[in-house]
Amino acid sequence: MLDFYKISPLVYNHVIVNKLKGFLALLLAGATLGSFSIWIRFLNTDLGPFQQIVLRNIIAVIFSVLLILGFRRKIDFKQTPKKYLFAYMFAFPLSIVFFTLSVIMGKIITAIFGLYLASFMISLVVGITVFKEKITFKKVSALVLVLIALFVYTSPFSLHNFLDRGFLFGVLAGCAEATANSFRKYLGGKLDKLVLIAVQGFGALILGIVLVAVAGQFAIPAVSVFNWFILFIFGSLLVLMTYLTLVGFSNFDLNLGTVVISSELFFGPIFAFLVFAERPTTFQTIGAFLIIAAIIVLNVDFRTIKRTLKISV
């Protein structure tokens, strides 16, 4: 870990700027993810879940390819292990599929709990063992706050809810999401980000086509003009969200980044209230503000505060 008091101001400022860039990117990614339930609900009037996956990722792939061509980005996978690229390609799409199955087979709160519990734990282990991230008081405090928030957010807690297939698929979704975030961090500084967006889009598209085939949903649906507009927005936001997470995890700790992106649980109920007038429960409200408290803790420089207090005394 860098000792900011022993390095030059120029290097210190560079590190701080990068961390701020990573934090803001992940916070915006959390807000973007929080809006996804809105678009899914709109599209549900014309499309099944697997059909949505295919169509929105067709738009995302087209958009990302146009960006690659427009900015003349180089596509070169020679220096990248193919097994890592393959894992990155399908990890996040699998997370979406597992989360969908979790919601279908259990309760939404069970799915949310399983996803974030697994995602936090896997990210902590991978961050320490693979990326050599250190355990600090700030990390522990933020993680404890988020875990408390998760328990409160998914209240009332029932052990029976967490012993079914819904919880199992939620945990699988969290493992897949943590894997995706790990490879975003690993590959974000090695390959062009627009290329990585296209790769993930292709993975989601392939997986979506397989699921449509298995479900037998071959019929071309009649989609309203309004929902085509929503599909365009959704596809564009998929590209934006992937780009933000690549930037975010490239400049931020994996475990702390997972805490920041969990702000989705704060933004989701806000969007649901603004668009569908759905009021969050008391537990959801308390949990959401605990998550915000955890994010604030991440950005408090306790050493600076301690030095300031010593000077004032």
Specify the pLDDT at position 1: 44
* 81 prior amide bond cis, ω within 30: no
The model carries a pTM of 0.87
User: Mind giving me the DSSP string for 263-293?
Assistant: THHHHHHHHHHHHH-PPPPHHHHHHHHHHHH
**Cβ–Cβ under 8 Å, residues 261 and 185:** no
Return all residues near 129 (Cβ < 8 A) that are at least 6 apart. none
The answer to whether the Cα torsion of 292, 293, 294, 298 is positive or negative is positive
Give dist(CA 64, CA 98) in Å, integer.
25
Residue 93 tokens read as 């799409």
For residue 131, the one-letter residue type is F
- Of residues 256, 287, 244, the one with CA closest to residue 33: 244
- Give CA 153 to chain center in angstroms: 18
Specify the pLDDT at position 196: 95
Q: Is 8 strand, coil or helix?
A: coil
Angle between helices 282-298 and 137-153 (to 10 degrees): 170
* 221 prior amide bond cis, ω within 30: no
Residue 130 tokens read as 């693979």
Residue 197 tokens read as 């967006």
Alpha helices in 106-136 (DSSP H): 108-129
User: Exposed/middle/buried for 164, CB within 10 Å: 0-12, 13-18, 19+?
Assistant: middle
Specify the pLDDT at position 150: 85
pLDDT per residue, tens digit, the chain (313 aa), is 445 445 566 665 667 888 889 999 999 999 999 998 889 889 888 988 888 889 999 999 999 999 999 999 988 888 888 999 999 999 999 998 898 888 778 777 778 888 888 998 899 899 999 999 888 887 888 888 888 988 888 777 666 656 678 888 989 999 999 999 999 999 988 899 999 999 999 999 999 999 888 887 777 778 899 999 999 999 999 999 999 999 999 999 898 899 999 999 899 889 888 998 888 888 888 988 888 888 888 776 656 545 554 555 5
